Amino acid sequence: MKILVCVKQVPHKDARLEISSDETWIQDESIKFEINAYDTYALEEALRIKDAGEAEVVILSIGPDRAIQALRTALGMGADRAILVWDDALAGTDSLGIAKALAAVAKAEQPDLILTGLMADDTNYSLTPPMLAELTQLPHVTAVVKETQQNGDIVAERELEGGALEVVKLPRPCLLSIQTGMNDVRYASLKGIMQAKKKPLETKSLADLGLQASDVAPKVTLEKIFLPPRGKGAEIVEGSIDEIATQVVTKIKELGLL
Amino acid sequence: MMGCMDFSLGPELEHIREEATKLAGGFSDEYWRDKDERKQFPWEFYNAFAEQGWIGIAIPERYEGAGLGVMAAGVLLQAVAQSGGAMNAASTLHLSIFGMGPVVHHGSEEMKQRYLPPTARGELHVSFGVTEDDAGTDTSRIRTFAEPDGDGFVINGKKVWNTKAQQAQKILLLTRTTPREECEKPLDGMTLFLADLDPAHCEIREIPKIARNAVNSNEVYIRDLRVGPEDVVGEVGRGFRCLLDGINPERIMLAAEAVGIGRRALEVATAYAKERIVFDRPIGANQAIAHPLADCHSELEAADLLWQKAAWVYDQGDIAGGEANIAKLRAAEAGFRACDQALQTLGGFGYANEFNVGRYWGEARLMRLAPISQEMARNYIAERVLGLPRSY
C-alpha cells in the first residue's frame, strides 16, 4: 500500500508575524517555519497505518527550498521518501494551481490513499484537498477524526457541528482530509533523525510534472491583507447598579437598538 | 565559497535542535517548578528522551548509540536547557551522555558491550564519583583507596557531589591504588572503576542545596565495596588520565547549557520589558532596562560561538583543553549575567517563583562553580594557554 501525505510548511505558531510592505503577505524572510498542524495528524495517521502493516509513506510538499526542512522533519518521524515541487510560477498561484501541481504528482505516484490536513494554518482556505481529489477523480471526505481499513475500503468518522459524528465508507484509492486531534502526533527519535538524511528527497519543477506556468496561473489573486481597525473607545458607565441600568437602557433606546 | 567560514549548524544539527526543542517543549515551566520544589527526579522528562534514543547520542553506533560528537550533544543539551527546564533538565540527561566517556575510550571490550548499550537505551544510570571533601579541585589528594584483595580490590572512602547517585546503579569511581607520597607524579597511582553502587556498601546522603533540586546531589560513604579486575577502566594506576576524556566534553556541554539558560531568561525578560507598563510606557523603552539586555544578548552570542568552536576542535580529535575552559568560563559568566539581569528586569516579580527567572538564576549560578570553578578555568587558561607560571 502506498500512502501519499501532502504537507505544507507554514509560519511557526510562535513566529511574530508582520504584514509585508506590499500588504499582500507577511514578512517571512527571518521567521521560523513548521509543518502545518493539520498535516502533522495526517502524517501520523499514515505512519500508524505503516506501523500496523506494509505501507510506503511518501511526503509531498510544494514550496521553496526552506520547505526541505519540513520534509526532513517528516522523514525523521518515519516517512519513507519525500518529493518537493517548486517553480517560480507557483509563488503567486491560488489553491487550484497548488492542487494541479499536487495532482500531477499524485497521478504519477498512483497512491492507494492520499491524506492531507483539513486546512492550512496560514491561509485557512480548506480548498486544496477537495480540489486535489476532484482533479485525480478520487472519492474524498473532509474533517476525518477516525479511519479504519476494511477489506480494501475505508470507514471514516467525520466531525459535524455540535459534537456529532457521521460514519462514511469509501473505496480505495481515495482522499481523506484530517481534522486536528485525530491522534497523538509522535516525536522523531534520534535514530529517525539520523536515518532521515539517507532517505530519498526528490525536487521537481513544473516542467518535470508536465505542467506549464500558464497551468497554474492564479484565477484568485490576493489583493490585500490587513488587521481590522481598532474599535472606537468604549464608554464607561458609572454609578450605582440602578443608575447604571437606567443609563444603559436610555443609551440603547437612543441608539434605536430596541 | 573558498576561504569563507560557515557558521550554520547544517541540516542535521538543525534537525536535532528542532526535535529536541519540540520534545523538551512538552515540559512546561510549571512542571519544572513543581519537580524542583518537591525535589523529585523528573522521570517523565527523562523517559521521554530515553524512549526516543537521545541518551545514546554520543555512544558509538556499535553499542546502540548514535555515534555523534560533542557538538551534537551540545546542541541537544542547549535546547533542553533553553526549554525552561534549565539545569534541572540538562543535568537529568548530560551525565548519561558524557559520563561514560572514559568507558567508551578506555573500557575493555567486554565492559563496553555490557554497559554501553543499556546506557544508550537510558536504562543504566551511572554516577560520577571523583570529588572528595578534603581534595576539592586538587584531585591528586583524594583518599578513597582501593586495596588489592585476591584478584580484585576492596574500596573504602567517601565521595561528595555525586549527581543522581539516588538513581544510579553504577558509579565511575576514582580511587587511589598507590599512596600519593609513593608516586613519581601526584596524579599517578589512581585507578578508575566502574563499580556497583551497592547500597550494602555505599551509603548515600543527599546534600540540601540552593537550587537545581529536581536532580539530587549526594555524599557517598563507601565501606568495603568489592570490585573485580574486570571493573577497572583503562589501566590500574592510570585512572586520572582516563577521566580526562570526560572532563573537557563536560565543560563544553556545560557551556552550551549555560548559553541555553541565559537565552531562556533573556526571552522572559525581553517579553516582560515589552509588556510591563510603568510611568505610561513599557519599561523596555528605558535604556537602563534595554542596554543591559542588549549586553546580555551579545555576550550569549559570543559564548555560543566559543562552545561550538570547542566542540568542533574536540570532535576533530583534539583534547580541546584550552577551548573547553575558555568556553566554560565565558558561557558561565554570560549565562548567569543574563539570568541576573532578567531577575532585575522583572523587579519584585522576578523574586516570585511564579515567574521562573529566580529558578533559572539559582541554577545558572551553579555554572560558575561546576564542573570546575571559574578560578580554576582561569588558572588553566593562564598556565596552559598563555604559558604563565603555575600559581598553586
Each domain of chain A, given as residue ranges in start order, spans 2-216
Q: What is the pLDDT of residues B241-262, one digit of tens each?
A: 898 778 899 999 999 999 999 9
- Cis omega (within 30 of 0) for bond into B11: no
CB contact under 8 A, A197 and B11: yes
> Residues B220, B225, B227, CA angle at the centre, nearest 5°?
125
CB contact under 8 A, B14 and A196: no
Backbone angles phi, psi at B163, to 5 degrees: -70, 135
Q: What is the pLDDT of residues B220-232, one digit of tens each?
A: 999 999 999 999 9
CA distance B2 to B11: 20
Nearest to B53 among A190, A196, A197 (CB): A190
Ranges of chain A with pLDDT below 70: none
Residues with Cβ within 8 Å of B120's Cβ and at least 6 positions away in sequence, in order, are B53, B55, B56, B59, B63, B64, B65
CATH fold of B10-120, please?
A: Butyryl-Coa Dehydrogenase, subunit A; domain 1 (1.10.540)
CA A115 to chain centre: 10
Structure-block grid coordinates of residue B106: 578506555
Q: Say how many C-beta atoms besides its own lie within 10 A of residue A220's C-beta.
A: 12
* Nearest-CA distance B199 → chain A (Å): 34
Structure-block grid coordinates of residue B345: 528586569
Nearest to B15 among A187, A191, A196 (CB): A196
A chain contacts of residue B120, beta-carbon cutoff 8 Å: none
Residues B97-105: what's their mean pLDDT? Answer: 90
The DSSP annotation for B104-165 comes to HHHS-HHHHHHHHHHHHTT---EEEE---TTTTT-GGG---EEEEETTEEEEEEEEEEEETT
Q: Say how many C-beta atoms besides its own lie within 10 A of residue A90's C-beta.
A: 21
Architecture, CATH, for domain B126-237: Beta Barrel (2.40)
> Residues B237, B240, B246, CA angle at the centre, nearest 5°?
140
pLDDT of B98 higher than 90: no
CATH class name, domain B241-385 = mainly alpha
CB contact under 8 A, B12 and A193: yes
Residues B54-81: what's their mean pLDDT? Answer: 96
Band of the pLDDT at B1, cuts 50, 70, 90?
low
* pLDDT the model gives residue B5: 85
* pLDDT the model gives residue A200: 98
Nearest chain B residue to A192, by CA: B52
Band of the pLDDT at B137, cuts 50, 70, 90?
confident
Nearest chain A residue to B23, by CA: A187
- On whether the CB atoms of residues A70 and A121 are closer than 8 A, the answer is no
Task: Return the H-helix or E-strand segment holding B102.
Answer: helix B101-106
Q: Say how many C-beta atoms besides its own lie within 10 A of residue A13's C-beta.
A: 9
Band of the pLDDT at B42, cuts 50, 70, 90?
very high
pLDDT of B128 higher than 60: yes
- Report the helix count and the strand count for chain B, using DSSP H and E: 12, 10
Architecture, CATH, for domain A2-216: 3-Layer(aba) Sandwich (3.40)
- Strand spans (E) along chain B: 126-129, 145-149, 152-163, 170-176, 190-196, 202-206, 217-227, 232-233, 277-278, 281-282
Query: What is residue A123's three-state secondary structure?
Result: coil
Q: Say how many C-beta atoms besides its own lie within 10 A of residue B110's C-beta.
A: 9
Residues B336-349: what's their mean pLDDT? Answer: 97
Domain boundaries, chain B: 10-120, 126-237, 241-385
Nearest to A187 among B11, B12, B52 (CB): B52
Residues with Cβ within 8 Å of B43's Cβ and at least 6 positions away in sequence, in order, are none
Residue of A186, A194, A197, A199 to mutate for B, most B C-beta atoms under 10 A: A194
* pLDDT the model gives residue A24: 87
CA distance A216 to A91: 10
* pLDDT the model gives residue A234: 77
- On whether the CB atoms of residues A141 and A160 are closer than 8 A, the answer is no
Evaluate whether ipTM surpasses 0.85.
Answer: yes
* pLDDT the model gives residue A139: 98
Query: Pseudo-torsion of CA B170, B173, B177, B178, nearest 10°?
Result: 180
Residues with Cβ within 8 Å of B178's Cβ and at least 6 positions away in sequence, in order, are B188, B189, B237
Q: Are strands A140-150 and A174-178 parallel, antiparallel or unpaired?
A: parallel
Query: What is residue A204's three-state secondary structure?
Result: strand
Task: Return the H-helix or E-strand segment holding A157.
Answer: strand A153-159
CA distance B300 to A7: 35
Structure-block grid coordinates of residue B256: 552550551
CA distance B143 to B158: 8
Q: What is the pLDDT of residues B273-328, one digit of tens each?
A: 999 999 999 999 999 999 999 999 999 999 999 999 999 999 999 999 999 999 99
* pLDDT the model gives residue A109: 98
CB contact under 8 A, B52 and A190: yes
Q: Say how many C-beta atoms besides its own lie within 10 A of residue A255's C-beta.
A: 8
Range A62-74 burial, b when 16+ CB lie within 10 A, else e: bbeeebbbbbbbb
Range B178-203 burial, b when 16+ CB lie within 10 A, else e: bebeeeeeebbbbbbbbbbbeeebbe
- On whether the CB atoms of residues A4 and A35 are closer than 8 A, the answer is no
Range B206-226 burial, b when 16+ CB lie within 10 A, else e: eeeeebbbbbbbbbbebeebe
- On whether the CB atoms of residues B66 and B233 are closer than 8 A, the answer is no
CB contact under 8 A, B11 and A189: no
CA distance B99 to B162: 12
**Averaged pLDDT score across all residues of chain B:** 95
Q: Which residues of B touch A (CB under 8 A)?
A: 11-12, 14-16, 18-19, 22-23, 48, 51-54, 56-57, 66
CA quadruple B209, B257, B355, A37: dihedral sign: negative
